[in-house]
Amino acid sequence: MANKLSILFELYVVTQKTRVLLSEAMSESPLTPTEYAVYSLVYDTVRITPTDMAERMGLPVTTLLDHIHEMEARGHTRRFPNPADGRSYLISLTADGLDAHREAAAHFRQAMSRLLDHLDADETEIRRALVSLGAAAEEALIHLRDSLTRAGNAR
């Protein structure tokens, strides 16, 4: 039977299955899968602004700031002045934040390993396709917002 459902439907299903895989693998982790993603970006960049984080993760800045406040409440981040912009700041992980990330990474790696065991394509090819899909989704969103703005202005 030919699949007549859209790529967006398939992406939705993959997202749901991935969410369940990560939730179960990380159930004993000190971080949720979402928190782990946020911590991983800070870990990877060492120091980053909230705005840059939100952009990289495709999240509204307000949502990202909620994550940062929770991280700060745990003592897992510290703020530094942003030399490029006095109105903003950079965050990095503290030693406790690095410990939480390291412990969560072990749980994440378990999920990743199990996923990789069942891939029938090269990981590099899949990563390239995902990056391309993400870029296409971002462009589609920009065009959708532009057309909605134009339609609203035409009224």
Task: Determine the Cα–Cα distance for residues 64 and 35; give it in Å rounded to an integer.
Answer: 10
Six token digits for residue 9 = 């439907």
The reported pLDDT for the residue numbered 66 is 96
**Residue range 126-147, pLDDT digits in tens:** 999 999 999 999 999 999 988 8
Average predicted confidence (pLDDT) for the chain? 93
Distance of alpha carbon 9 from alpha carbon 147, whole angstroms: 23
Q: Is the per-residue pLDDT at 1 higher than 60?
A: no
Per-residue pLDDT tens digits for 108-130: 999 999 999 998 888 899 999 99
Domain ranges, ordered by start, for the chain: 28-118, 121-155
Q: Residue 2: what pLDDT?
A: 58
Mean pLDDT over 99-105 rounds to: 98
Is residue 91 over pLDDT 90? yes
Using CB atoms within 10 A of its CB, is residue 41 exposed (0-12), middle (13-18) or buried (19+)?
middle
Question: Residue 155 above 90 pLDDT?
Answer: no
What mean pLDDT is predicted for residues 102-113?
96
List residues bridging with 93 in a β-sheet.
77
Q: What CATH number was assigned to the domain covering residues 28-118?
A: 1.10.10.10
